[in-house]
Amino acid sequence: RTATLSAKIQGKVVEVNFEEGQKVKAGDIVARLDDSNYAAALHQAQAQMRQARAAMDNNAPIYTRYQRLQKEGAISTDAVENQRTIYDNARTQYDVAVAAVALAQANLADTLVRAPFDGIVTVKVAQVGEVVAPSAQSGGSTRSGIMTIVDMNSLEVQVDVSENYIERVEAGGAATIHLDAYPELEIPGSVIAIIPTADQSKGTVAVRVAIKTKDSRILPQMAA
């Protein structure tokens, strides 16, 4: 399992917290974008929300008093309806302001890039000061990725087995894995599954093999 991490928004990188070979935990902040504009937008939205809340709170007792006066016959129905409209508009404006604050908070949170799972950084792409975006943009130097992480616990072996021997392989069956880099190392494994398609040009069937014993010498893309 591997993932190239990027940002949900475009922005300038102000912090990269991990280098190649370092371990990350799920939820770790691997990078941070410039948040000054988003923080200002949040403060503005919060101020507008407070203003809208004050307007709604000021109109609520007036509307209540108008309803009481109407029951006493001291005020017309039209006056009550007009005040109800004013109160409803104030309440709607407050709801809109609350939604604007939630959006501003989400945008501010998106300036933090977090690791989606435990892993090891294999590639660091972006540097502090560079601009990153969710997707590459033509005509500029904007990057679409910040770093790549690999979940080492998800490592498995994929091996091509000749069609002549595939009948000997079954899911759950035992296997022994040998790495080309460490030919004397015997790693116990077991068959996860037989991929149900054959390679006609090679006359083989792909088989997925689980690695039972974790070893730091086992690296992604090694030959086995």
pLDDT, one tens digit per residue, over 15-33 is: 999 999 999 999 999 999 9
Question: Can you tell me whether residue 179 is helix, strand or coil?
Answer: coil
| Residue 7: Cβ-neighbour burial (10 angstroms; 0-12, 13-18, 19+) | buried
pLDDT band at 92 (very low <50, low <70, confident <90, very high): very high
pLDDT at 145: 87
pLDDT at 140: 56
pLDDT band at 221 (very low <50, low <70, confident <90, very high): confident
pLDDT band at 12 (very low <50, low <70, confident <90, very high): very high
Which DSSP symbol is given to 173?
Answer: -
For the segment 121-161, what is each residue's pLDDT rounded down to a tens digit?
A: 999 988 999 998 887 554 556 778 899 999 988 899 999 99
Q: DSSP labels for 60-94?
A: HHHHHHHHHHHHTT-S-HHHHHHHHHHHHHHHHHH
pLDDT at 22: 93
pLDDT at 136: 58
pLDDT at 74: 83
Sign of CA dihedral 181, 186, 187, 193: positive
Q: Are 33 and 11 in contact (CB under 8 A)?
A: yes
Query: Among 64-73, 114-123, 208-217, whose mean pLDDT is lowest?
Result: 64-73
| E strand or H helix that includes residue 39 | helix 36-71
Mean pLDDT of all residues in 84-109: 95
pLDDT band at 115 (very low <50, low <70, confident <90, very high): very high
pTM for this entry = 0.71
